[in-house]
Amino acid sequence: MAETQIVIVGTGPEGRMAADIFQGMGIDVLGFIRADEEPELSELNDINVFAKIGDKAAKTLLADQDTQYIVCLGDISERRKVYETFSTQTKRPSTTGVHPNAWVSPNAKMGFGNLLSASVAVHANASVGDMNHFHSGSSVEPDAHIGNYCTFSPGVRIGAKCIIEDEVFIGTGAVIYPGVKVGKGALIGAGSVVLKEVKARQTVFGNPAKEA
């Protein structure tokens, strides 16, 4: 059986975080594929940057069915766009990376393409969708539901039975109180304490959080 290896799509903070995670998991990082807006690099942290998204070299890299990939782009809309293109090309989903110091309850449900950094905790009966980024120290309490393509910045706390819909961005250290619903595409400012429902596409910040 071929040794597991992975290509990381994105050379920004999320891509670098992914490299640390997969190396910690003992998985060989074959190289990076950079996004259009990212700097031209030949290597990053001693790992080759092979190509740009859309290049023939990128398609060749991913043609090997034994090579996994993960899309690590901070911009949520770009993450979705690139993933949809790559999944069509490869006929397989993005893999998930879980840092050795992260913890996922055996009673939680986890989709594909998720990135969990150090000290992330996902508790019992939580449900996590696909293509989410959990930065260091963020946590999801029991029975919470997380959608797809969300970003949880460092230290975010998602309370029990919360519902976080798709494409939500939550800033550093924000707290979502138990049972609160956050609508699709909402943006929660850093340090916010969210006590009541946040509507779709709404931006809130503060303690207690109010609409911007």
Q: Respond yes or no on whether the N-terminal peptide bond of residue 208 is cis (omega within 30° of 0).
A: yes
* Distance between CA atoms of residues 12 and 72, nearest Å: 8
What CA–CA distances, in Å, run from 183 to 39, 57, 58, 60, 196? 33, 39, 35, 38, 11
- The fold of the 5-95 domain, in CATH, is Rossmann fold (3.40.50)
How far is 131 from 110, CA to CA, in rounded Å? Answer: 10
Query: What pLDDT score was predicted for residue 1?
Result: 34
How large is the average pLDDT for residues 183-197? 98
pLDDT reading at 3 higher than 80: no
Residue with the larger pLDDT of the pair 156 and 53 = 156
Query: Average pLDDT, whole number, for the chain?
Result: 94
pLDDT digits (tens, 9 = 90+) for 105-116: 999 999 999 999
Distance CA(199)–CA(171), nearest Å, equals 17
H or E stretch covering 81: helix 76-90
User: How many CA atoms within 13 Å lie on the side-chain side of 103?
Assistant: 9
Q: Considering only CA atoms, which of 185, 191, 108 is closest in space to residue 145?
A: 108
Residue 145 has pLDDT above 80, yes or no: yes
Lowest mean pLDDT among 1-10, 82-91, 105-114, 200-209: 1-10
Q: Say if pTM beats, i.e. exceeds, 0.85.
A: yes
Residues 64-93: what's their mean pLDDT?
92
Question: Which three-class secondary structure state does DSSP give residue 34?
Answer: strand
CATH superfamily, with its number, for domain 96-203: Hexapeptide repeat proteins (2.160.10.10)
Q: Tokens for 29?
A: 């990082």
Contacts 24+ apart (CB under 8 A), 153-161: 153/190
Tell me: pLDDT of 193 over 70: yes
Domain positions in the chain: 5-95, 96-203
Percentage with pLDDT > 70 across the chain: 99
pLDDT-derived band at 38 (thresholds 50, 70, 90) equals confident
